[in-house]
């Protein structure tokens, strides 16, 4: 479940349009989830939506009367379509039937929802839901092309079993994922046109074909940062060590295993990057040699492993002449501030984000805190889920990146 303070939708005014599709029953869940995310909601239903789900259900869940009729004097005097059109920060139509998509493409005003969309300057998002043949019909696809060209965001649809018994594209995207898409749309695009390179997760350094030296990094923080950077409009490349995480939508992901492979991928992408965020827990040492066969146990005998240092990727990038804005991480079990500030200087970084790890803190958990340092300032980011912490960190990165570039160009 999304926590209220965790979402960029908190406090946003959203008009949710519900149209006549069997998926309309899912809008009850969507209303709950949008409210959990802290959004202010007003629901508008088409007449045919009322055949699938009652206005009372959505009224009860949204906490406000549902608007249906364009020509209802009572409703118009309460919050008429022009007032609603001005009130909305966003209009989301979910489910959006083939019919409403056609009406919006034509700019019709024959019911409250389409009149509202035409009267509003607010951005519009549609989550289509319909039979797969209706979806793939050129008429629908042409309408969508028109809507997209006007800046309308289209969420989905998903594929799978359909209520009509067929299989294919046309299912409503699950409400949770509609909320995620909306969260992405509402974040200001302060990194538009910028390229961000991020490393995440652990590295594995092979001892033999079955064993390796690794660490407890889950990659969650780096993936959350990648998501926050995409939300801010950046083009993001994420170089990930071995992790079990879903790639955030819109992120270009490159999987690697070793520190050396991570270094090579970073080297080939860094020249065109504006910001490099080195979040990976890169192994500091690797076996001097990797055995080609599994090492056999010899009873009662010690085994010595000889290790050599790996390349320090972030320090190597920071030594380059033409380099991006560089953000490092410092995961420490003690003396976090001292170690972090020392690393900021020694590795010649622009910024460092430090956190305490071990004893259930930091790695492999969903929440975290960060102390962030740069050359003439610092800020504590209080405990939050990593998705939110990543957004807070991204705000600081953007501020300091802009500050550095305005000095350069002054």
Binding site for ligand C5P (CB under 6 A): 199, 259, 278, 280, 282, 284, 310, 312-314, 328-330, 343
Task: Say which of 50, 117, 164, 279 is annotated catalytic.
Answer: 164
CB of 256 to ligand C5P, least distance (A): 12
| 164 in catalytic set | yes
- Rounded to whole angstroms, the Cα distance separating 69 from 47 reads 8
- The beta-carbon contacts of 63-70 under 8 Å, at least 24 apart in sequence, are 63/35, 67/42, 67/43, 67/112, 68/44, 68/112, 69/112, 70/109, 70/111, 70/112, 70/115
3-class secondary structure, 269: helix
- Rounded to whole angstroms, the Cα distance separating 70 from 113 reads 8
- Nearer Cβ to ligand C5P (68/280): 280
- Nearer Cβ to ligand C5P (39/280): 280
Q: Which residue has the tokens 């800020």?
A: 379
CB of 191 to ligand C5P, least distance (A): 20
- Nearer Cβ to ligand C5P (40/332): 332
Cβ-proximal residues to 377 (8 Å cutoff; 6+ apart), any chain: none
Which is it for the CA torsion 43, 33, 173, 160, positive or negative?
negative
- Nearer Cβ to ligand C5P (37/327): 327
- Rounded to whole angstroms, the Cα distance separating 368 from 384 reads 6
- Nearer Cβ to ligand C5P (203/387): 203
CB of 279 to ligand C5P, least distance (A): 6
- Positions marked catalytic: 164
């Amino acid at each position: 479940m999304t926590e209220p303070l965790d979402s960029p939708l908190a406090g946003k005014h959203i008009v949710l349009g519900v149209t006549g599709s069997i998926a309309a029953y899912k809008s009850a869940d969507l209303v709950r989830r949008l409210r959990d995310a802290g959004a202010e909601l007003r629901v508008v239903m088409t007449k045919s939506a009322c055949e699938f789900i009652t206005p009372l259900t959505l009224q009860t869940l949204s906490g406000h009367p549902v608007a249906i009729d364009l020509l209802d004097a009572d409703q118009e005097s309460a919050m008429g379509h022009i007032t609603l059109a001005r009130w909305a920060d966003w209009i989301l139509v979910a489910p959006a039937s083939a019919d409403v998509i056609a009406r919006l493409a034509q700019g019709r005003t024959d019911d409250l929802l389409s009149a509202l969309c035409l009267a509003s300057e607010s951005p519009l998002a549609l989550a289509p839901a319909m039979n797969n043949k209706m979806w793939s019909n050129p008429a629908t696809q042409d309408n969508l092309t028109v809507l997209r060209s006007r800046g309308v965001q289209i969420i989905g649809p998903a594929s799978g079993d359909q209520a009509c018994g067929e299989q294919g594209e046309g299912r409503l995207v699950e409400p949770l994922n509609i909320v995620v898409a909306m969260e992405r749309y509402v974040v200001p695009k302060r990194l538009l046109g910028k390229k961000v390179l991020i490393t995440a997760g652990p590295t594995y350094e092979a001892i033999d074909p079955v064993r390796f030296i690794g660490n407890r990094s889950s990659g969650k923080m780096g993936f959350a940062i990648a998501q926050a950077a995409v939300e801010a409009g950046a083009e993001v490349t994420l170089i990930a060590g071995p992790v079990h995480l879903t790639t955030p939508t819109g992120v270009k992901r490159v999987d690697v295993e070793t520190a050396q492979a991570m270094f090579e991928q970073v080297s080939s992408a860094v020249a065109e990057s504006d910001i490099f965020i080195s979040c990976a827990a890169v192994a500091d040492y690797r076996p001097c040699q990797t055995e080609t066969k599994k090492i056999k146990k010899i009873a009662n005998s010690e085994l010595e492993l000889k290790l050599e240092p790996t390349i320090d990727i972030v320090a190597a990038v920071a030594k380059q002449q033409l380099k991006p804005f560089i953000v490092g991480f410092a995961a420490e079990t003690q003396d976090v501030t001292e170690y972090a500030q020392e690393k900021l200087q020694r590795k010649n970084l622009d910024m460092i984000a430090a956190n305490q790890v071990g004893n259930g803190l930091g790695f492999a958990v969903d929440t975290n805190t960060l102390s962030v340092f740069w050359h003439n300032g610092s800020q504590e980011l209080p405990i939050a889920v990593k998705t939110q912490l990543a957004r807070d960190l991204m705000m600081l990165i953007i501020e300091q990146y802009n500050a550095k570039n305005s000095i350069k160009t002054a």
